[in-house]
Amino acid sequence: MRYTNITQTNSGRSKALAVDDFQCPFSLGIGAKITAGTPTFNIEYSFDDPSADGYTVAGATWYVATGFSGLTATTGGALSTPCKAICINISSGSGTVVASVVQAGPV
């Protein structure tokens, strides 16, 4: 996976970023940066496949990634739970969050 950014402005979920759940070991490096405002946000993951027929971000089941819950400041970390997609969810406040994501494994 190449280095990718996802962005969310104000309350709600960003688009889903599909990741490769077949990488072994599975590891995503995530840096989430508040670029405007004072949002409270989570980084979340889903086992639902974004390439499946009928998939919608709103219809997917999302789980809050450990260490990425209720964030109010720029933070970084890793996600080692194999999953199909990740997103930003701004739960309160207003502003913009940009998450930079890179996945370990062959290019």
Quick one: pLDDT at residue 107?
60
Quick one: pLDDT at residue 97?
98
Six-digit token string for 72? 């109010």
Quick one: pLDDT at residue 49?
97
Quick one: pLDDT at residue 105?
79
User: Rounded to two decimals, what is the model's pTM?
Assistant: 0.94
Quick one: pLDDT at residue 1?
63
Decide if 9 contacts 99 (C-beta within 8 A).
Answer: no
Pick the closest to residue 44 from 95, 88, 96, 97 (CA basis): 88
Average confidence (pLDDT) per 10 residues, the chain, 107 residues: 91 97 93 98 98 97 97 97 97 97 83
Q: Kindly list the distances between the CA atom of residue 44 and the CA atoms of 106, 107, in Å, as whole numbers in the listed order.
A: 24, 24
Alpha helices in the chain (DSSP H): none
Separation of alpha carbons 86 and 106, rounded Å = 20
Six-digit token string for 71? 């964030």
Domain boundaries, the chain: 4-103
Question: What CATH architecture applies to the domain 4-103?
Answer: Sandwich (2.60)
The one-letter amino acid code at 102 reads V
Quick one: pLDDT at residue 104?
87
The terminus-to-terminus CA distance of the chain in angstroms comes to 6
